Amino acid sequence: MPFTLDPGLRQYCTPRQLEVLTALEDHGSQRKAAEALGVDKALISQVKQAVLKKAASFGYAPDFDMVHPTPPGFHVKGASTLYDMQTGEARLQWLKTNADANAQEEMMREAVEAMSASIPRAKPIQPPKRANEDLLNLYVLTDFHWGMLSWHKEGGADWDLKIAEETLRRTFAQMMAQSPDSEVGIIGQLGDMIHTDYPGFRSQTPLSGHDLDVDGRPHKVIGGVIRILRNVIDMALTKHPQVIVLMAEGNHDGMGSVWLQHCFAALYADDPRVEVIVTPLPFYVYEHGETMLAFHHGHLRKPTTLTGIFAAQFPQVWGRTRYRYGHCGHLHHRVKIDEREDAGMTVIQHRSLTAKDAYSARGAYYAERKTECITYHRKHGQVASVHVTPEMVE
């Protein structure tokens, strides 16, 4: 039968899907619509079904008497309709809805951007009097799990908000004291900075739902992480004329990375010496002369695949650089992978400063606790590194 595009379906179409369904309505058959668009006939049917399915998930399916779409941020998980046995007309209908994860994430992103506009700006800090213009210091911070609780009888060391803050402050002070006075300093926070940002304040990982040991209520955790990261950035500003801030997405803090990026971008908006990387993609790069620095937490792609991913996603930066280094975390231990010479990138999987929680201890996972500052030259790539352990700063 001829297809008529219901006006209510338009809001559930992408521009391309709307083009396909409009052609189906205009030409009257899938075959003619496919010929007009120069595509396979099967695509027409697939697009139609995809749009109908999407609309139904949000409560709109007129052929089944569902004509009351859900509000933004929700989708239908079930529907019950009471029909008149004599006339067959729908008399009552119950829609069961729950929160739509994608819509809620987008709404939260918009809220973060709106709120960050009112954050008081930090006053610029006096820059250092001298620095080597050819050098860049990368201060690595990954899998810090701020808000995690550990017991030394299980994991070998205690860990809570107070210990974590003191460890981070002393570790970065030590790294900065031992590293050269370079022009650029990167605060390379590679993800999982926050132990959990599960909706509803539940102590679980957002993706897998694993139970977690936590220290502190959400307000205490969020306020603390902003304070300690600001402290680290301000320390870097006293040493480097230019500071780059990376708040990478992790599997424990996917939403936390969003508001951290926007929060610090707003906080340092009036300081021309601070650049905060803000992007929705979990792959990040920085170009320093002939040196390319690439970053990914490691929860979506393994280290062995990063060379091809960054070459394809950032071809201009790849082409302009001679030395390329990828940095990731996620596994809490160190594996250095020197790719083949024609691959063109060295990928380093970094350790974490954090103590083991009950999950890691009971799983017999072992990783040396350590972080590092790596120094890069504009023309010669990596030229130095400084390693610091928690025991060194106790």
Q: What average pLDDT does the structure give for the chain?
A: 81
Which fold, 1-57? Arc Repressor Mutant, subunit A (1.10.10)
CATH 3.60.21.10 in the chain, residues?
Answer: 133-393
Check pLDDT > 80 for residue 98. Answer: no
- pLDDT band of residue 203 (cuts 50, 70, 90) is low
pLDDT tens, position by position, 10-32: 888 888 888 888 989 888 888 88
370 or 367, which is more confident: 370
Collapse the DSSP code of 291 into the 3-class scheme (helix H, G, I; strand E, B; otherwise coil) and give the result: strand
* Token pair in block for residue 142: 């990954």
CATH 1.10.10 in the chain, residues?
Answer: 1-57
Burial class (CB in 10 A: 0-12, 13-18, 19+), 324: buried
Residues 231, 147, 270, CA angle at the centre, nearest 5°? 30
CA pair distance 311, 289, nearest whole angstrom: 17
Percent of the chain with pLDDT over 70: 75
| CATH (one of 3.40.50.150, 3.30.70.420, 3.90.1150.10, 3.60.21.10) for 133-393 | 3.60.21.10
85 or 273, which is more confident: 273
Check pLDDT > 80 for residue 364. Answer: no
Neighbours of 290 (CB within 10 A): 16
Task: Check: CB of residue 267 under 8 Å from CB of residue 278.
Answer: no
Check pLDDT > 70 for residue 211. Answer: no
CA pair distance 26, 32, nearest whole angstrom: 9
- Predicted local distance difference test score (pLDDT) of residue 278: 94
pLDDT tens, position by position, 375-385: 999 999 999 99
Check pLDDT > 80 for residue 331. Answer: no
Q: What is the mean pLDDT of residues 39-59?
A: 83
- Predicted local distance difference test score (pLDDT) of residue 294: 96
Least confident of 136-150, 202-216, 286-300: 202-216
- pLDDT band of residue 46 (cuts 50, 70, 90) is confident
